[in-house]
Amino acid sequence: MPKRVLIVDDHQNFRELARRLVEAVGLDVVGEASSGAQALLEERRLRPDIVLLDIQLPDFDGLTVASSLSLLPAAPAVVLVSTRDASDYGPRVRQCGALGFISKAELSAASLAAMLSE
């Protein structure tokens, strides 16, 4: 059974691109969210295995969302994405409980598959 993915980004165009990339590696997109608050609600409702999570969201940042998700008993694997470089966020990327970070410029089916196989 394919792993279930929730895509979180405030831009519809990116969510559509991410859906194609996620499906290209054989994963099942079960939902989308456009804000941090919506991401937390959708995680509770859908119980995805993986959350592809933008850091820059309109209400609160993805690092905060990732930290909240990491505290759940059956926490999903979180892959952070951003137009900015991981170094722009300092140690918070490593400390928030996420599986890893991929810049949006480098996001591909191959980079996502490599991150998830680690």
- 25-70 tens-digit pLDDT: 999 999 999 999 999 999 999 999 999 999 999 998 999 999 999 9
Cα gap 90→48, rounded to integer Å: 27
Closest by alpha carbon to 31, among 51, 60, 2?
A: 51
* 3-state SS class at 4: strand
pTM recorded for the entire structure: 0.95
User: What's CA 69's distance to the chain center, in Å?
Assistant: 11
Tokens of residue 91, six digits: 């140690």
**What's phi and psi for 33, nearest 5 deg?**
-145, 150
Instruction: Give the mean pLDDT of the chain.
Output: 94
All domains of the chain, ordered by start, with CATH?
4-117 (3.40.50.2300)
Consecutive H or E run containing 30: strand 28-33
